[in-house]
Structure 1
C-alpha cells in the first residue's frame, strides 16, 4: 500500500486524528455517537496500518517509561475496577489514542507537526465562527446536538445546548465543540501555534488574521482559566528568553536562581490574593461549583486510596459509584457531572496514589525534556555555533497551557488532551536530534 508512505497521507491522517480528538464533541453533536464511532474506527484502523507499515521505525519498546507504566496500571486496574466492562473499553480507547500520537510523533517532523496543528486550529476556530454566525443570523435560537432531547423542553439545562445563540450579543460562544471553556482552550493553543508560525516566518500575512481570530475567540469565551494560562505562558516565555541569553554556566545558574525566586513570589502572591484574583476573573470562592465536585471526588477516593476505583477516563452515569449521590452523582446546571474538573483528582480517584505518582512522573519528565528543547541551541554542523529555534518552543508552551487547564478540567486525560500529552512525551524523547529540528526551519531566531 504505497499510499501509506506518501507525505500527503501522513499529514492528512495527522490532521484528522488531531482535529477529531480535540473537536470530538463536534462529531458527536453533528453525527451522533454512531457517526463519531465511525470516525474513531477510521482513525484506529489507519493507526494500526501505519504501525504495521512502519514497524521498523516506530520503536514501541523505547516509549517513555512513565507512559508505559500509566497504561499498564490502567490495564491492571481492570482486576479491581468497580466497573470492569467500562474500564476495558476505557483502556482500549486510551491505548488507541496513545498509539495514534506515537504514529504522528514518529512519522512527522517538528515542522510538519507545526503545520498540521496550524491547519487543525484554523479549522476549529474558523468553523466555530461560521457555525455561530449561522445560528445567530438564520436559526436565531439556541440549538441542541442532534442526539439530545431535553427532558423538560420548557426549562432546558443550558449546558445541554450546542450553541446558545450568543454571537451577536458578544456572549460566551461555544463554537463547534459546544463548550465555551473548550473553545477557549482551542483558541489559546491556536494562539501559540499561530504565534510560532509568525515568529518563524513560516506563514504569510494571513497568519496575522488567524492570530486575531484566536484573540477574538478568547475575548468572547472569557474563560478565567485561559487568562491564568496566558499569564503563565508569558512568564514561561520570558524565562526561556532569559535562559537562552545566558552564555556561561555561571550566568545560567544565576538566571535559574532568579527565575525560581520570581516564580515563588508570584505563586505566594497569587495564593495570598486569590480572593481578589477570583473576583477580578468573575469567579466565586466555590469556583463555579468545582469545590463541591472536588469534595465528592476526594471523599470517594478516600475509600480506595492506594489504587483507586479503576480507570474510566470519562465517568459513566449508569455505573456505581456515579449513581450514588453520597459519592459521585453530582449535578451542575441541571446536568450530571462526568469528570472531576481537575485532572489530578481524576487520576487520584481512578488509579489512586500510585497512579497519581506515575502520572506526575509522565508530566514532569515531559516538561523537563520540553524545557531543554526550548532553551538549548540547535547545531547543524561541527563548526556551527548554534542557534535557537522558535519551533522548539512548541511543546513547552502547549504543555503549559494544558497543565493550567488540568487544574479546572480533566481533558488532558482524554481524547485530544491525552493525544497531545503523549505526542510531546514521545516526540521530545525520540526526536531531539540536530537534523530533525533543523530540517523544518524556515528561519531561525538568534
Structure 2
C-alpha cells in the first residue's frame, strides 16, 4: 500500500475510534481497548518516523502542555495512572500530527465520511435496539442489573418513542457533538460545491442533532451559526460596514446572555434540564475544592477520569451516578495542572484560534468556505468545553492540536505532496 494511502487509512481508523471511543470500550472493555490504543499509537509512531517528523518544530504550547502533563506524575495523587494518562495524551497528539501531515482536502474527506458513517451506524444501531431487542442495552462487558439507571445504558432504545438517543457512542451529548462537527463540514463542503448529494449529508447530522436534544450542543450550534453569519458578512462586506455588523452582533449577543442569566430557570425548564445544569454546579464546586489543595500545579494529570482511581471514582457522584469528568475543560485543567496548566492550555487555545483565523483570512475567494471550517469547529469545541471536558481528550484534543499545528504543517511533514487544495497554512 502506498505511503499516503496507508496513512489515510490509519487516519480514518484514528478518527473513527477517537470520535466513538466509548462505543469501543462498551464492546471490548477497557483492557482490550487499551491494547488496541497502544497498537495504534505504535503504528502512528512508525509512520511519523518514516515521515521524518521534526519534533523540535512543534508548536511550543502543545509541547509544553504534554511535558507538564508528563512531569505532573511526580506530584500526582496517583503517579502510575498519571503516567498512563500522559501516554494517552502524547499518543493523541502524535495521532493529530499524523493526520495533519495529510493534504487538507484529504483531512476533510476522512473526517467528513467517517463522521457521516458514524451517524448512519448510530441510527442503525438505535433502530436495532428499539425494534429487535426492545429493551435497554448495557455495555457488553458489564453486569448491571436490568433496573440500573438510564445513564448506564449503552442505548435506551427510545429512537421511536421520542426519547433522547445515544447512538453507538452511548452518550447523547457525544453523538450531538459529532453531529455538529459533521454538519459544519458538510455545510461548508456544500457551499464549496464538492458534494452532489449534499442535502443528505446536511440533513443526517441535523436529524441526529434533533434526536439527541443536547443543551450543550444546542448552545454550541447557536454560536457556530452566529459566527457563520459573521464570516459571510466579512466575505461580502469589508471595512466599516462589517465592523458595524460585528458591533451589532456583539451587542445583541451580550443582551441575549443577560436575558438568559436573568431568566435561567425558565431557560432550563424549556430545555428540560435542572437549574443547576444537571448537578454541574455541585461537581464544579468539588473540582475547585480539590484543585485548591494544589492551586499552582494541580493534583496531577489524568485526562478523562478513570473509574477505578480515587478520588476521581466518586468526585463526580450525583444522584447515585458517578460522572467521570469535571464538565468544564478549564476547571478540569485547573484541578489537574493548576494555574500553570490553565495558562498553558490558554496558549494552546490561542495558537489554535490564531491559526484558524489566519487560514480564513489568507484564503483565496473561491476557497473560503472550506477554509472557514477550522474556525467554526474551534468555536464549537470552545463552547462545548464550558460544560463538558471532552474537548481535551480523544477527538476534541486531536482537532485542537491540528488547528494549533497550522502553519508548521509543511515543516512537520516535508514529504507530504502538494495539492491544489488549500492547506491548513491558509
Give the alignment's TM-score, normalised by structure 2.
Answer: 0.92
Superposed displacement of residue 368, structure 1: 2.1
Q: How far has the Cα of 1:354 moved from its partner?
A: 0.8
* CA distance in structure 2 between the aligned counterparts of 1:319 and 1:137, rounded to whole angstroms: 38
Matched-pair contact (CA < 8 Å) for 2:316–2:325 = no
- In 2 relative to 1, CA 313–246 (structure 1 residues): closer, same or farther, beyond 3 Å? same
Corresponding residue for residue 300 of structure 2: 310
Q: Which residue of 2 aligns with 1:329?
A: 315
Give 2:139's aligned residue: 145
Question: What does residue 384 of structure 2 align with?
Answer: 405
Instruction: Decide whether the 8 Å contact of 1:14 with 1:104 is kept in 2.
Output: yes
Offset of 1:394 from its aligned partner? 1.1
For structure 2, the 5+ residue unaligned runs are none
Residue 128 (structure 1) aligned to one of 118, 122, 125: 122
Question: Which whole-Å CA distance do the structure 2 matches of 1:275 and 1:335 have between them?
Answer: 24
Distance (whole Å) between structure 2 residues aligned to residue 264 and residue 437 of structure 1: 43
> Structure 1's 437 and 372: CA in aligned 2 closer, same or farther, altered over 3 A?
farther
Does structure 1 retain, via aligned residues, the 8 Å contact 2:355–2:406?
no
Shift of 1:274: 3.4
Q: Secondary structure at the match of 1:315?
A: coil
Residue 238 of structure 1: which of 225, 229, 232 is its match?
229
Q: Shift in Å at residue 261 of structure 1?
A: 4.1
CA contact (8 A) 2:154 2:168 kept: yes
Q: CA deviation at 1:61?
A: 1.4
More displaced 10-residue stretch of structure 1: 250-259 or 169-178 = 250-259
Assess if the C-alpha contact under 8 Å between 1:157 and 1:333 holds in 2: no
CA distance in structure 2 between the aligned counterparts of 1:80 and 1:115, rounded to whole angstroms: 42
Map 1:4-153 → 2, pairs under 5 A: 5-55=2-52, 58-106=53-101, 108-150=102-144, 153=145
Q: 2:352 touches 2:406 (CA, 8 Å); kept in 1?
A: no
In structure 1, the residue matched to 2:206 is 215
Q: Structure 1: 5+ residue runs without aligned partners?
A: 379-385, 442-446
User: 1:271 and 1:60 mapped to 2: Cα distance?
Assistant: 45
Pick aligned residue for 1:439 from 416, 420, 426: 420
Name the structure 2 match of 1:383. Answer: none
Spell out, residue by residue over 1:51-71, the C-alpha distance to the aligned partner (whole angstroms, 9 max, x if none). Answer: 11001xx33212221111111
The 1-side partners of 2:32 and 2:306 are apart by 20
**Secondary structure in 2 aligned to 1:29?**
helix
CA distance in 1, matches of 2:116, 2:207: 13
Aligned residue in 1 for 2:172:
180
Does the CA contact (< 8 Å) of 1:343 and 1:406 recur in 2?
yes
Deviation at 1:338, TM superposition (A): 1.2
- Deviation for aligned residue 1:289: 0.9
What are the Cα deviations for residues 353-383 of structure 1, in whole angstroms up to 9, with x where unaligned? 11011101111221122123223342xxxxx
Q: Contact between 2:363 and 2:371, CA under 8 Å: does it hold in 1? A: no
Name the SS of the counterpart of 2:368 in structure 1. Answer: coil
